[in-house]
């Protein structure tokens, strides 16, 4: 244990009445089963009235490749969030950038492409800091700071396991159990906000047109991808600052990004939402990099407003979607369409049209009806996944660009569904 944390156990129990080891079984665990540091262990050995926690703090660190520099180093998120050392003031530990009232529950984790959180500290309990001896109060505050520094550092240093970054998915956190009825629930997300997965993916969005923001928010709501964070305070004050060696957004892009996450945060029901583009703190001198074996799509930032993109066509053969002669989707076909809709929703499509086609077997009326019902079935899945303004039509036996009418591959080509869409970035 560090010298500044040494405090005689007998003196500690005499002054505070704490039962040492009372929460030893709840020591914060790091990935792999180890503890997240001596300071966290020290805090875990103090008695805490968990049922009366006044603060439920969740800190999530984006560990994707875009949040690191070319050497694999992450921002100094501890200093960005907390600002430095903490001091005991009344019954709280006060840092330069924030204040932690006690008793409190703290959870710290990292996320990347799948949006699921890997917890470095799953449930750290801070006991009530009362008016006890100055030596204990000072040691308490120092241990809190060192525990948080260690845990945040571990989260930032953990390598990404999945490609990309699913920022919205990571927001789906639970309230800590056994907190006071009037406890504050605070969610701090250390991220550049450059999501590349799900309905909020920005891979094909130029981040220039603010009208697209509302469409992305509505698409995410339609897909039920927006978590319920009513009763939470959400902070994302470092948007638009990817690591070095990545394309850097301009101020206009960061303004767009701030508008997007403000809209998504408001849609969660959280209040207040502190969303800004403040620059995080550079990695500490000598910080080691992390080998990154999974890629994060590079987001390029347009310097000028782009004209509307031409229409894009996705062709889906019949056998991927339907049994022969049926308009009932295969389960695999429904799954394929849902994944496609998830990807497309993040691009905020201006228009989506679904057209069904049939081969020349059967009569004209039968083919038109079958192609219409198939287009409608595909359109229903796209709408259920959150896409707005989807139009459908059946075109029957229209060959289009298929090969010779007598070839079998022509029939297979005709038995298809086309999804035509236009995206403006």
Predicted confidence (pLDDT) per residue in 321-366, tens digit: 887 778 888 888 888 998 888 878 767 777 899 998 876 676 788 8
pLDDT bracket for residue 27 (50, 70, 90)? very low
pLDDT in tens, 38-67: 888 888 887 666 678 999 999 999 999 999
Q: How far apart are CA 120 and CA 125, in angstroms?
A: 14
Domains of the chain: 3-275 (no CATH), 312-423 (3.30.1330.60)
| pLDDT in the model for residue 407 | 56
DSSP 401: T
Q: How confident is the model at residue 400 (pLDDT cuts 50, 70, 90)?
A: low
> Is 337 within 8 Å of 377 (Cβ atoms)?
no
Residue 23 has pLDDT above 60, yes or no: no
Cβ-based neighbours of 119, under 8 Å, separated by 6 or more:
29, 107, 108, 109
Q: In the chain, what percentage of residues exceed pLDDT 70?
A: 82
Contacts of 1 (CB under 8 A, 6+ apart): 38, 42
- How many Å apart are CA 404 and CA 161, to the nearest integer? 48
Residue-wise pLDDT tens digits, 125-170: 898 888 777 788 999 999 999 999 999 999 999 999 999 899 999 9
Mean pLDDT over all residues of the chain?
82
The more confidently predicted of residues 49 and 101 is: 101
Strands of 232-236's sheet in order across: 118-126, 104-111, 53-62, 179-190, 232-236, 273-275
186 — pLDDT class (breaks 50, 70, 90): very high
Residue 373, classified by CB atoms within 10 Å of its CB into exposed (0-12), middle (13-18) or buried (19+), is middle
């Amino acid at each position: 244990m560090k010298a500044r944390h040494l405090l005689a156990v007998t003196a500690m129990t005499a002054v505070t009445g704490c039962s040492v080891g009372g929460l030893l079984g709840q020591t914060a665990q790091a990935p792999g089963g180890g503890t997240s540091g001596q300071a966290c262990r020290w805090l875990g050995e103090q008695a805490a009235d968990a049922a009366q926690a006044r603060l439920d703090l969740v800190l999530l660190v984006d560990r994707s490749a875009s949040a690191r520099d070319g050497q694999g180093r992450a921002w100094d998120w501890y200093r960005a969030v907390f600002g430095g050392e903490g001091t005991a003031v009344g019954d709280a530990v006060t840092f330069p950038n924030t204040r932690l009232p006690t008793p409190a529950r703290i959870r710290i984790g990292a996320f990347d492409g799948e949006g699921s959180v890997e917890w470095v500290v799953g449930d750290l309990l801070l006991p009530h800091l009362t008016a006890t001896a100055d030596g204990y109060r000072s040691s308490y505050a120092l241990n809190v700071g060192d525990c948080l520094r260690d845990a945040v550092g571990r989260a930032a240093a953990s390598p990404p396991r999945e490609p990309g970054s699913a920022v919205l998915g990571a927001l789906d956190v639970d309230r800590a159990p056994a907190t006071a009825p009037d406890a504050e629930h605070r969610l701090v997300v250390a991220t550049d906000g450059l999501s590349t997965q799900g309905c909020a993916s920005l891979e094909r969005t130029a981040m220039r047109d603010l009208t697209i923001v509302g469409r992305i928010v509505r698409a995410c709501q339609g897909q039920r991808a927006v978590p319920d964070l009513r009763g939470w305070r959400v902070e994302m004050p470092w948007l638009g600052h990817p690591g070095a060696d990545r394309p850097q957004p301009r101020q206009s892009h960061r303004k767009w990004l701030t508008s997007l996450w403000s809209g998504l945060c408001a849609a969660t029901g959280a209040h207040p939402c502190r969303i800004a583009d403040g620059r995080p703190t550079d990695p500490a001198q000598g910080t080691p990099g992390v080998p990154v074996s999974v890629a994060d799509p590079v987001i390029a930032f347009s310097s000028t407003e782009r004209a509307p993109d031409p229409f894009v066509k996705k062709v889906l053969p019949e056998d991927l979607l339907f049994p022969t002669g049926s308009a009932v989707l295969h389960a695999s076909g429904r799954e394929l369409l849902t994944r496609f809709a998830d990807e497309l929703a993040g691009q905020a499509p201006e228009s989506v049209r679904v057209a069904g086609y049939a081969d020349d077997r059967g009569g004209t009326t039968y083919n038109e009806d079958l192609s219409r019902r198939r287009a409608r079935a595909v359109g229903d899945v796209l709408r259920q996944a959150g896409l707005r303004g989807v139009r459908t039509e059946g075109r029957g036996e229209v060959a289009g660009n298929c090969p010779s009418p007598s070839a079998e591959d022509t029939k297979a080509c005709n038995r298809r569904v086309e999804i035509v869409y236009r995206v403006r970035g």
